[in-house]
Structures are given as structure tokens and as C-alpha cells.
Amino acid sequence: MKTKPTNRLGDRILMGLVFLFLYAPIFILIIFSFNSGVSSSVWKGFSLHWYNELIHNRLIMTSVYTTLLVSLLATVIATVAGTFAAIGFYSMRRKRRDALMAVNNIPMMNADIVTGVSLCLLFVVFFNGWGAFAGWINSIQSVVTLPTKLSLGFGTMLIAHVCFNIPYVILAVGPKLRQMDRNLIDAAQDLGCTWMQAFWKVVIPEIKPGIVSGALTAFTMSVDDFIISYFTAGSRTSTLAMTIYGMTKKRVSPQINAVSTLLFVTVLILLVIINIRESSMQKRVEKGKNRVAVVKEPSRTVRVLRRVAAGALALALLVTLIVTGRAANSRPEVNVCSWGEYIDEELITRFEEETGIAVHYQTVESNEALYSLIEMGGADFDVIVPSDYMIARLIEEDMLAELDYDNIPNFQLIDNQYKNLNYDPENKYTVPYAWGTLGIIYNTTMVDEEIDSWDAMFDPKYAGQVLMINNSRDALAAALLDLGYSINTTDEAELRQAFQRLRDAKNAGVYQGFVMDQVFQKMEGSNAAIAMYYAGDYLSMLENNEDLAFVVPKEGSNWFVDAMCVLKTAQHKQEAEAWINFIASTESNLANMDFIWYASPNYEALEQYPAYYEELYEEELDEEIYAIMAPGEDVLERCEIYENLPQETLQLYNDLWNQLGV
Amino acid sequence: MKNKLSRFAVPYVVWMAIFVVAPIVIMVIYAFTSQNGGFSFENFVKMGDYAEVFLRSFEMAIIATVICLLIGYPVSYLMSREGPGFQRTGMVLIMLPMWMNFLLRTYSWITILDNNGLLNQLFQKIGLIALYNNITGSDVTYFHMMNTPGAVVLGMVYNYLPFMILPIYSVIIKLDHSLLEAARDLGANSVTVFRKVILPLSLPGVLSGITMVFVPSVSTFAISQMLGGGTDLLLGDLIERQFLGGAYNPQLGAAISLVMMIIVVVCMIVMNRFGEGEEQAVMM
């Protein structure tokens, strides 16, 4: 379309603004990948530190590989299947086509969550059925042994990706087919084509732009997807998005910025090359037109070469798939599930080198998420690291296996204070991992007084400045403590009163937000004055903002213990116990303590940490910091540990929590 | 001929039965099951408490979709009038952001919008905040942008705008130019050509675009959690809570999903009917 040149400038400005809108956040991401500090809002100087770290971060590297592999395979499968399906649909009578298209559109109209959950349910139902079937087959004959336990993994995730990709391909190809002149096919056949030839020579070229855009959309959807993968990948496979999500539980490491930057730049370079090639080809074509209008077909050798290259690529993909599948099967392994950034990852490597056991390390967002994952039967974790109250619930519901403490000699190093706690009174199921306290973090430059009470979390004086924690147990605990009740109360009136306190504060505009992970960025960047969070995380924040202070309020608080336990369904119990023993050792605890800033339950490690710190950083550990990390008796005696609540109280928590958001 | 081609769809129909229909059936069964097992309407009765969440989600998703359309259509249209090199680069640039994970891109907006974020720092530097204080006589040190419904809508528009541009563009670019020439020859000015020819013919793309923006917007949970501060729940948040969050109750989650799904499907059917009507009108 030709247009008057006067409009051009205005058009370009509009488009420029849209591009600015699309790219501003990305440039910020890229810039902060070169930040020498860990924060994503405070610039501390240029450094390539995070790129260096990235290379050694196996978790991220594996997830990048998984993401690319699943996206590529799903795109290829979905594009082929979707194109054929679209052609099939558009050759049908309208009524039938409309009915099928309605079904086809379901995955797109559904929330990703719904697609994910319903697929997960389907797989689990199928696996249960298969388990029974395989057991029956194995019992009546002994020639072949079928595996009885299938679990979610790469395969199920791939199916899910294909599932949500196909509709996008159909949606892209459909309009092209609709616009295509149907008579073209008849014409081709009249001219002597078989219908197969007509298909390849007429239909496909006509709808090619649709196929290409469909494939591109499918690939980007796959790369961008998080929710569906999350529900269908199981415990062993993790895409980049899932890794990021696990991290956002605590903090997005700038390593993620670095990996995104690298991916982005790679894609950019690739596309630029393609573009330059295409436009130079076009120029050549145009030049050719001036002389003789002949477009040279690519020569035979080029075509053969292309096919060989494509074949080699496909073969390489297949081989990697098989090899990685084999590699995973041949070694002893253990599936560990914990929180994001809750371990010094060198420990994983060290454990693998020492024992030859491969560790599949997964992270999950919260205790509740962990519970749901296990409850839905989609996960095959061996070792999990839940918090006290969740452990009690898991024990009560008979989901944990008793440990053989003969295989865990390092259990002796655990301080008696952390043994036989109320969640595991006889200590048959758990080995403590770390502990800490819940408290109030505040910015001393933004608050005039010294905060020492939970009142601060509900005070309209601080409207718009307070960050409430985004989980029902901790949030209601703050209100309960403020009202002078126990955090383990089962009294409905008390709980409703606490809920009212929260709701009043929320309606008065006290809360800037309900957050978990964002608390780091908000507090470090002085975007909020007051927040409630965990002591260890406060110490991480302190590294980036010295104005922050932490207090365990005078009304008391929660002190929590996260402990390692083994699930009843675990397939690698021995390896799991080896892992637990390794993590419980003094060296591991020291390394972990230094990395995550949470206190260790290992008395040797706890005692040695100040010396360890001094040796490592050549400066003394601030006593105040150590006191926050591992508070003394004076603080702990006003703290309570969470107990598991009866079913109806849990239900009440759920209902109140849902209503708070309405 | 026709029948032969329609056979291409058979494998996919089987696939759909297993991986699209069956999971929905399972979900429906869940929705009508009480938490202790057994058939019940309990979940639907409970849902009355969340009418506000439904309204809020649909309102926000509609606003986001309209904004996407208002930005996306002109961009697609203007893009289609540019030279081929510009077009190709432009399309690549529109797709490119999606190759960075959306969680990260959304996360990055927090850095920009926060009270002490980059945008407020910029306003401070150029004196905009001082100017505002002078005019209104107020005493603010920042503009409150984070954790507002506006921020959530912005997040939706930001994430899903490409889904609006791509289908519209791919339809417009395929338009038969002789139609436009014919219209002009018949005396139509640019506005009339656009209104009477281009706009109706690009409607299939617009419908695809609306579907592709509205559906993820109405069901999002990551965006509202990150940019909305988690104070006002959206449907996605509510569902996520029942399955993975602090309120494990998959039966209720399934019921909410089911109702949401039905509302969305009904909307889409109505819209598609309307779209088909238009198309036929154009052909006549």
C-alpha cells in the first residue's frame, strides 16, 4: 500500500513508543545482569560476576536445556499435527468443523492453570490405572516385567506442551485457509496434479506464512510457558520458568538476568542474520528482475545439504534425548525438594563426587505448594524439607517414612534442643535442616520510632508503607500475637477477631501489598518501610541496605524449624538417607549457614560459625548479626513453634484467607 | 477430494478426546465432589462469596483487551503500510520480548514502577514531582503506581499486546490490494476505504487477537501477584490458591475454574457469531 509521505513521521513515532514500551523492561533486565550487587533495583557498579557464576550453576543450565528441548520438540510436533488438523478441519462441513473447532479452542480458552491441573489429574489417574494393570500382568506371567510406577516427567510435559501449542498453530493456519481460494486445488487437479501434489504444491505454499507464524507462536508459547509445565513436569524435570519461580520464593538471582540476556542476544543475532540474508536475497531477486525475470532455484547440492543438515539435527536431538534418559537411569539417584536458594549448591556437586549418587534438586514455593504436589500424586520426591507444622500434618496423614538413624550418624551432631520437637515427638521421621525466627523488618530512615510490637503491622499511621506476608499461617499469627492470643489457637472467635484485625488494616490502606519474594526488592530499595519476614532473609537484605533493622516483637513470635524427611513413596530411600547424613554434617552446615544466613541445628556448626566466618572473610562476624541469625534463650522463650491444626481449623484458615483477598 | 483432506484431522480428533475432553471431564467430576469425597454442590454454594473476584477479573481483562486493541490495531495497520524490510524487522521486534520469560519481564516492571523505582527517580530528577506539588499544594515524594489495579492492567497489556498485533497484522498483510484499489476507483476516500473494506476484512484477525489477549488476562495470577501486591485477588489467584497456594482445596478450585471456563466460552461463542455475521455481510 502506498501512502502519503507526510504521515510517515507520526506513524513511526507511534510505533517507536510501542517498541519502547515493549523493550524498556528488557533493557533494565539486561543492564542489571551486569550489576555487581545482588539487587535488581540498586546499582552497585559494573561486573561480569553473574555470568561467571552462571556457568557453574547447574540448576539453571539444566533448566535452560530442558526448556529449549521441550520447546523445540513440542513446536515441531505441534506444527506438523496442527497444520494437518487445520487442513482437515477446513475440508469438513461447516457444522462438524465448528463443533471440532470449539473443542480445539478449549485449551486456549481455559486458564493455563486449568489446563495444567486437569492434565495433571488425567496423568495421575492414568498412572494409577496403569499401576494396577501392570501389577496384574506381572502377577499372571513372568516373561516380561512391566514397570508398576510411572511418574510425571519430561514425556508428560512434552504432551502438555504439544496440547496447548496445536490450537495456536490451527489458529494461525486457519485464517490462511479461509482466505485461500478453494478453486485452486480443483484447478491444480484439472491441470493434472494428483491430490497429493495439489496439497504439497498448492495448499502448503499458500498457507506457509500461517504455518511459519504458527510455529513461531508455538515456540514462543512453549518458551514462555510456566504454569502448565509446573503441573505436568513432575519433580524431576524443571524448565527455566519453573526454576525462576522457585527462586522468586526468595529472590531472583541476577544469574537469571544473565541467562536471559544470553538467550535474548542469541535469538537477536540469529534473527538479524536471517533478516540480512533474506533481504539480500530479495535484492538479488529484484536485480534479477531488471535483467531477466528468473529466480534461480537452490541448486541440487544445496538442497541435499539442507536435508542432511536437518536430518543430522533431528538425529542429534534424538540421541541427546536417549542419552540423557539413559544417564538418568543408570546411576543411583535421589530426588530432593527444597525451597529456592536454600542450599549452597556446591554441596550438591560435592555429594555427587563423594558418593556417585546423582542429585535431582528441585525447589517448590511454599509448604502448602509442597503439600499439594505430594497430595496430587504427581511428584516423586525422596527427600523433602518442609517446616514444622507441615511435617506434623504429613506425619498425621501417614505420608512420611520412618528413618533408619543408623544410616545417619551425623544426627548425633544435632543439638538436643531440636530433637523430639512437638511435630515429631519421638523423632522417628526427621533430621533438622535449619531454623530461625519470624519478625518485623523496618527501615530506620523511614520510621521515626523503634518498632518493638506487632502493632506496627496494623497501624494506619503507616498506611501504604507496610508489606504483609502472603501466607495465611504467618499473617494470622501476627494478628493473633498482637491480640495476645496463641499462634496455635483453634478458637474460632479468636481467629475471626484476628482476621478482622487484618481486614480492618487492609481496608484502612495500611498494606502496600501482600508479598513473599518481592519483600527483598521492596525493602532493599526502600520502597516500603515495614515488613514481616524471616531473620535469615533479613540478613540477606542487610547486605544491600544498611538502614534496615530487625526485631522479634515483644508479644512473641514464631520460631520455626525446617527438617529433612523422606516420603513413604520414596523409591530411593537408601540414597535419601545418605543425602540427609551428608547435609547434617558440620562442614555442610557451615557452608549452608554462610550461604543462606539461617541458623544451623548442628551444634558444632553453630558454635564454629563465627570462627569460620572470620577465616573466610578475614573480618569478625558482627555479634548483633550472629544474635539475629541464632537468637539466644531470651528471644526464643517468647517464641512459639507452629503446631499442626485440626482439619476444621485448617479449613477456617483457608476460608478466612480467601475472604481477605475479596 | 474434500473427504480425503478431512481425514487429516482424524489423529488430532483422537488426541483431543484424550488430552482435551477427558481432563475436562475429570475436572467436572472434581467440581461436584465435596472435600470428603461424594457428590455435592458444596463448592458452588461457597462460590457466592467470590462474586466480587469474578467481576473484578472480568473488568480488568476487558479493560486490558480494549487497550491492547486500541494500541495493537493501529500498530498492525501502520506496520502493514511500511516497506518489507521494516515490516520484517518490526514483526521480529514484536515477537522478541516473548523469548524472555514473562515472569522476569513482569518482575522488571517492579523496578520501574516502584515508589522508589526508576520512573519515580526520573520524575524527581526532571522536577515533575516538585511541579505537581506546586500545582496541587500536596507534599508527595513519589507517585503511587505499584500495587494498583492500573499496574496490573499495564502488566496484562505489556505481556499480551503481541498476541493482539500478530493475528491482526497477519490478516491485514494478506488483504487483496485490488479490493482497495477498486474501492478507491469507485470514489472512496482513505477513511471510507479503511472503514468499509480494511476493517471488516481484518475482523477475523481482530477476533483471534481478542481471544488471545482476553483469555490469559482473565486467568492470570503471576501478574496480579507481582504488580498488584496480592491485595485484591483475581480469579487466577483464587484458583492457584486452591491448588498450590495457602488454601488447598482442589474441588473448590475445579468448581471455580469450571464456572470461569463456561463464562469465557459463552462470551467467545457470542463473539464469534457476531464475527461470522459481519463476514457474511461483507461478502454480500
Interface contact A661-B238, CB threshold 8 A: yes
Q: How close, in Å, is residue A6 to chain B by CA atoms? A: 13
**Among A8, A30, A224, A390, the residue to mutate for chain B (most B Cβ within 10 A):** A224
Nearest to B98 among A3, A189, A224 (CB): A224
The residue that leads in pLDDT, B7 or A160, is A160
Interface contact B240-A113, CB threshold 8 A: yes
Burial of B121 per CB tally in 10 Å (0-12, 13-18, 19+):
middle
Instruction: Determine contact: B76 vs chain A, CB below 8 A.
Output: no
pLDDT band at residue B279 under the 50/70/90 scheme: very low
Neighbouring residues of B228: CB distance < 8 A, sequence distance ≥ 6: A513, B147, B148, B149, B151, B152, B234
3-state percent breakdown (helix, strand, coil) of chain B, nearest 5: 80, 0, 20
pLDDT band at residue B120 under the 50/70/90 scheme: confident
Interface contact A661-B233, CB threshold 8 A: yes
Instruction: Determine contact: B188 vs chain A, CB below 8 A.
Output: no
Q: What is the pLDDT of residue A1?
A: 45
Q: What is the pLDDT of residue A552?
A: 94
**Among A92, A658, A659, A662, the residue to mutate for chain B (most B Cβ within 10 A):** A658
Nearest to A110 among B79, B144, B261 (CB): B261
Read off φ and ψ for residue A191, nearest 5 degrees: -85, 10
Q: How many helices (H) and strands (E) does chain B have?
A: 17, 0
Q: What's B195's DSSP letter?
A: I
Q: What's A509's DSSP letter?
A: T
Q: What's B152's DSSP letter?
A: H
The helix (run of H) or strand (run of E) holding residue A75 is helix A58-90
Among B residues 135-174, those touching chain A with beta carbons less than 8 Å apart: 144, 146-147, 158, 161-162, 166-167, 170-171, 174
Neighbouring residues of A239: CB distance < 8 A, sequence distance ≥ 6: A63, A66, A67, A70, A157, A225, A226, A229, A233
State the DSSP string of A150-164.
Answer: ---SHHHHHHHHHHH
Nearest to B9 among A85, A106, A213 (CB): A85
Angle B84-95/A8-32 helices, nearest 10 degrees?
40
Positive or negative, the CA dihedral A545, A548, A552, A553 is negative
Q: pLDDT tens digit string along B195-212?
A: 888 888 888 889 889 988
Q: What's B197's DSSP letter?
A: I
b/e sequence A99-109, b meaning 16+ C-beta within 10 Å: ebbebbbbbbb
If DSSP codes are grouped into helix, strand and coil, which group holds residue B21?
A: helix
Among A residues 368-397, those touching chain B with beta carbons less than 8 Å apart: 368-369, 371-373, 375-376
Q: What is the pLDDT of residue A323?
A: 57
Q: What is the pLDDT of residue A38?
A: 74
Predicted TM-score (pTM) of this structure: 0.79
Q: Nearest Cα to A44, choosing from A654, A621, A524?
A: A524
Interface contact B97-A23, CB threshold 8 A: yes
Among A residues 75-114, those touching chain B with beta carbons less than 8 Å apart: 81-82, 84-85, 87-92, 100, 102-114
Burial of A275 per CB tally in 10 Å (0-12, 13-18, 19+):
middle
Interface contact B20-A106, CB threshold 8 A: yes
Using an 8 Å CB-CB cutoff, list chain B residues near A89. Answer: 6, 9
Among A residues 514-573, those touching chain B with beta carbons less than 8 Å apart: 514-515, 518, 521-522, 525-528
CA distance A573 to A428: 15
CA distance A398 to A646: 15
Using an 8 Å CB-CB cutoff, list chain A residues near B75. Answer: 14-15, 18
Instruction: Determine contact: B112 vs chain A, CB below 8 A.
Output: yes
The helix (run of H) or strand (run of E) holding residue A358 is strand A358-363
Q: Which three cell numbers stand for residue A385?
A: 524439607
CA distance A289 to A283: 10
Among A residues 451-470, those touching chain B with beta carbons less than 8 Å apart: 464, 470
Interface contacts (A, B; CB < 8 Å): 345
Q: How close, in Å, is residue A512 to chain B by CA atoms? A: 7
Burial of A161 per CB tally in 10 Å (0-12, 13-18, 19+):
buried
Provide the phi-psi class of B147: left if phi over 0, else alpha when psi is between -120 and 50, else beta.
left
- The rounded radius of gyration (Å) of the Cα atoms in chain A is 29
Using an 8 Å CB-CB cutoff, list chain A residues near B109. Answer: 25
Residue of B nearest to A251 (CA): B107
CA distance A651 to A644: 12
CA distance A242 to A229: 8
Q: How close, in Å, is residue B129 to chain A by CA atoms? A: 17
Q: What is the pLDDT of residue B245?
A: 67
State the DSSP string of B83-145.
Answer: -HHHHHHHHHHHHGGGGS-HHHHHHHHHHHHSTTSHHHHHHHHTTHHHHHHHHH----SS---
Residue of A nearest to B93 (CA): A19
Residue of B nearest to A223 (CA): B99
Q: Which three cell numbers stand for residue B258?
A: 469450571
Using an 8 Å CB-CB cutoff, list chain B residues near A114. Answer: 27, 219, 239, 257, 260-261
Query: Would you say B90 and A11 are in contact if contact means Cβ atoms under 8 Å apart?
Result: no
Using an 8 Å CB-CB cutoff, list chain A residues near B211. Answer: 105, 108-109, 171
Q: What is the pLDDT of residue A541?
A: 87
Q: pLDDT tens digit string along B57-111?
A: 999 999 999 999 999 999 998 888 888 878 888 888 888 887 777 887 888 888 8
3-state secondary structure A262-331: HHHHHHHHHHHHHHHHHHHHHHHHHHHHHHCCCCCCCCHHHHHHHHHHHHHHHHHHHHHHHHHHHHHHHC
Query: Would you say A516 and A471 are in contact if contact means Cβ atoms under 8 Å apart?
Result: yes
Q: Which three cell numbers stand for residue A558?
A: 514464631
Instruction: Determine contact: A627 vs chain B, CB below 8 A.
Output: no
Q: What is the pLDDT of residue A294?
A: 45
Using an 8 Å CB-CB cutoff, list chain B residues near A159. Answer: 19
Interface contact B12-A84, CB threshold 8 A: yes
Interface contact B230-A515, CB threshold 8 A: yes
3-state secondary structure A428-471: CCEEEEEEEEEEEEEECCCCCCCCCCHHHHCCHHHCCCEEEECC
State the DSSP string of A360-422.
Answer: EEEE-S-HHHHHHHHHTT----SEE--BHHHHHHHHHTT-BPPP-GGG-GGGGGB-GGGSS-T
Positive or negative, the CA dihedral B154, B159, B162, B167 is negative
Residue of B nearest to A203 (CA): B5
User: ipTM of the assembly?
Assistant: 0.86
Q: Which residue has the cell 531477486?
A: A285
Q: Nearest Cα to B83, choosing from A5, A476, A153, A495?
A: A5
CA angle B25, B29, B35 (to 5 degrees): 150
Residue B281 has pLDDT above 50, yes or no: no
CA distance B94 to B33: 44
Residue B1 has pLDDT above 80, yes or no: no
Mean pLDDT by groups of 10 residues along chain A of 662 residues:
58 89 90 83 84 83 87 92 88 85 80 82 82 85 75 87 92 84 82 80 86 87 84 77 69 79 83 76 66 52 71 70 55 84 88 91 78 73 92 92 94 91 92 94 92 94 90 91 94 95 92 81 86 90 90 93 91 92 94 90 91 89 88 90 89 86 72
Interface contact A252-B144, CB threshold 8 A: no
Q: What is the pLDDT of residue A246?
A: 66
Interface contact B232-A28, CB threshold 8 A: no
Interface contact B88-A278, CB threshold 8 A: yes
Q: What is the pLDDT of residue A3?
A: 46
Residue of B nearest to A160 (CA): B19
Q: Which three cell numbers stand for residue A529?
A: 518501610
Q: How many residues does chain B have?
A: 284
Read off φ and ψ for residue B8, nearest 5 degrees: -55, -25
Instruction: Determine contact: B131 vs chain A, CB below 8 A.
Output: no
Query: Would you say A657 and B229 are in contact if contact means Cβ atoms under 8 Å apart?
Result: no
Q: What is the pLDDT of residue A293?
A: 43
Q: How close, in Å, is residue A324 to chain B by CA atoms? A: 25
Torsion of CA A352, A590, A386, B105, to 10 degrees: -80
Using an 8 Å CB-CB cutoff, list chain A residues near B111. Answer: 25, 28, 32, 40-41, 521
